[in-house]
Amino acid sequence: MNLPEVKALATELAVERLSCESEVATELVLIHGWGADRSVWNACVPALRSWTNITLVDLPGCGESPPGSYDLVTLLNGLAAVTPERALLMGWSLGGMIATAFSTSYPERVTGLITLACSPRFTQADDWTEAMSEAGFHSFTARVAGDAGRGLEYFDRLQCGTGPEARRCRNLLTDIRTIAPARQTLLDGLGLLAGIDNRHSMEQIEVPVLHLYGADDLLVPATMSQAIADFAPGHDVAILPGATHLLPVANSDWFTEQLQGWIANHFPEISLRKPARLDKNLVAESFSRAAKTYNQHARLQSVVSENLLSRSRQQTQGCRVENVLDLGCGTAQMRAGLTRCYPHAEYFGLDIAEGMLAEAQCTAGSAGRDQGSWICADAEELPLASNSIDLVFTSLAIQWCQDLDRLFAELHRVLRVGGWCFFATLGPGTLEELRRAWLAVDDKTHVNQFIPITNVSESICNAGLIEMQLEQQMQVMRYQELRELTGELKGIGAHNVNEGRPTGLMGRSAVRQFRAAYENQREEGMLPATYQVIYGAVRKPESA
């Protein structure tokens, strides 16, 4: 597809510019789909913003954009006016079709293309059956023309699917859709949707391309991947089982992880390693203050620690373990379990929070145990001799580290040859419900940000350790009332310690808005809180 020599006037588009917290040159433009606006990207923006500058676009008549032309040439000109000179383009559904057309019309402006739940052509043709039938599309258009609200409700049912995720998807849509586009905007968008055909122009795209699909998508079937492989074999494709059309809304963690892996393969010059900056002093102070209440609130921590201990026991049968470092030991809840597993091993408890160590020592004295060896230190600067530790056990502690490369390099240094490290940490999908509720209030960093499993694996490799096991599980805790969750987080000392966190007291209106947004996520009478737990087992190689 090529633009005519005499270009149509550009249509006016509202954009939101989100700068990366670190200085980067990478640019990313996000384009939403039909019946939506830029808020569909809310769930994935925090992870994307950690490594790129983001430009969020509202299509004409959507979000904050005034009504405008849906003539494709005019729309592409408008997009060119707000797009950085060189950028990655990512579009969902109709937005992916527009991004694809832009990539062929302005190839010099695009460094890479990502589409989500997107078809090269949305309606069927004589040589194209992987799409909605003409009759079905005309019926849907008539439904929207007759009653736009009911038409949009029907579309939402198709987006959410009929599987086990349908209810959650509907709740998520309710959270992000504040004002629906007007009927004429919806009809204009349908006209554009029916008019774009990118099948033949896609093979002209010379930059890397990634297509992501949901296996249970009722609007754009996952079988589209085979069609794309036929006429654009150089493009990358991934499919998420069980996912519907709402990939950026309901499956943001999966697709951001897919995107980061793709970026690492095709754009090695782009640094994805930009974790949120932590204030280590605040980390230490926060956990010290919570030392007295930690054990009574640490439900998740107990579950994860026991799971990790079981993994440790299975992996180290028959291994020599003369000492154990409980890294980030807190109140030393796991000392008794570690002692049972490794009865002949000397125990070292290390934590950055003096208050936690004091509580651990007090508990050990009350129980009549020996006082053990306690070390107050940062995990990234271990005050231990090289080649001195047989086994490191660290449960839900290393997410408070700033530099994973440095952490695993230190672990490599202090481990003896053949020594083990078993760890559990948190991934970026942690407390997604809490993060989503705060996004309804403002764009501040209210929830601590955690590092994806791909980055963890990279740091392990960089340190020269052997990755024996690395997997992630979603652990969902449930609460009757929101105050139970917030009280639990406060009770264990897990406060927001990132730069960019809000300062000062929240107004009553903001608090009410936050609570209402979280209440919308209630499932079967309970409020969920999801934790993405990453379990790992690594070993120092014999040749080290």
pLDDT tens-digit profile of 220-246?
A: 988 888 888 888 888 999 999 999 999
Q: What are phi and psi of 475, to 5 degrees?
A: -110, 120
Among the listed residues 529, 432, 532, 426, the one whose alpha carbon sits nearest the alpha carbon of residue 479: 529
- Tell me the angle at which helices 148-160 and 134-146 cross, rounded to the nearest 10 degrees: 130
What 8-state DSSP symbol labels residue 5? S
Bridge partners for 324 per DSSP: 347, 391
CATH code for the structural domain at 280-429+449-476+531-539: 3.40.50.150
Q: Give the residue among 345, 332, 248, 228 at the shortest CA–CA distance from 37.
A: 248
> Could you confirm whether 245 is annotated as catalytic?
yes
CA distances from 441 to 30, 179, 422, 496, 517 (A): 21, 16, 38, 16, 9
Q: Domain coordinates of the chain in residue numbers?
A: 14-266, 280-429+449-476+531-539
Q: Which residue do the tokens 């309970």 mark?
A: 526
Are domains 14-266 and 280-429+449-476+531-539 of this chain identical in fold? yes
Residues of the chain above pLDDT 90, percent: 58
**Three-point CA angle 496, 502, 504, nearest 5°:** 110
Catalytic residue among 175, 188, 216, 217: 217
DSSP assignments along 332-358, one per residue: TTTHHHHHHHSTTSEEEEEES-HHHHH
Looking at residue 236, its amino acid is D
List the one residue out of 515, 514, 509 whose CA is nearest residue 444. Answer: 514
211, 245, 412, 446: which is the annotated catalytic residue? Answer: 245
**Rounded mean pLDDT for each run of 10 residues along the chain, 544 residues in total:** 40 81 75 94 82 91 92 95 94 97 96 95 86 91 95 93 87 80 95 93 92 94 85 90 93 90 90 62 85 87 95 93 96 93 95 93 69 86 91 94 88 95 94 86 70 88 92 93 87 59 57 89 92 96 71
Distant-in-sequence, close-in-space partners of 205: CB < 8 Å, separation ≥ 6: 100, 103, 104, 107, 113, 232
The confidence score (pLDDT) of residue 371 equals: 59
Write down the pLDDT at residue 346.
95
CA-CA distance, 332 to 162, in Å (whole number)? 46
Contacts of 351 (CB under 8 A, 6+ apart): 287, 328, 329, 330, 357, 360, 375, 376, 397
Catalytic residue among 39, 93, 105, 288: 93
- pTM > 0.95: no
Known catalytic residue at 217: yes
Check residue 56 and give its pLDDT: 92
C-alpha to C-alpha distance for 274 and 500, rounded to whole angstroms: 14
What residues contact 455, with CB distance under 8 A and at least 6 apart? 260, 272, 273, 275, 404
**Whether 237 contacts 229, CB under 8 Å:** yes
d(CA 66, CA 46): 27
- Determine the CATH number of domain 14-266: 3.40.50.1820
End-to-end CA separation in angstroms for the chain: 56
Nearest to 521 by CA among 435, 428, 450, 445: 435
pLDDT value, residue 507 = 62
Q: Exposed, middle or buried, 156 (CB in 10 Å: 0-12/13-18/19+)?
A: middle
Residues 149, 67: Cα–Cα separation, whole Å: 18
What single DSSP character describes residue 204? G
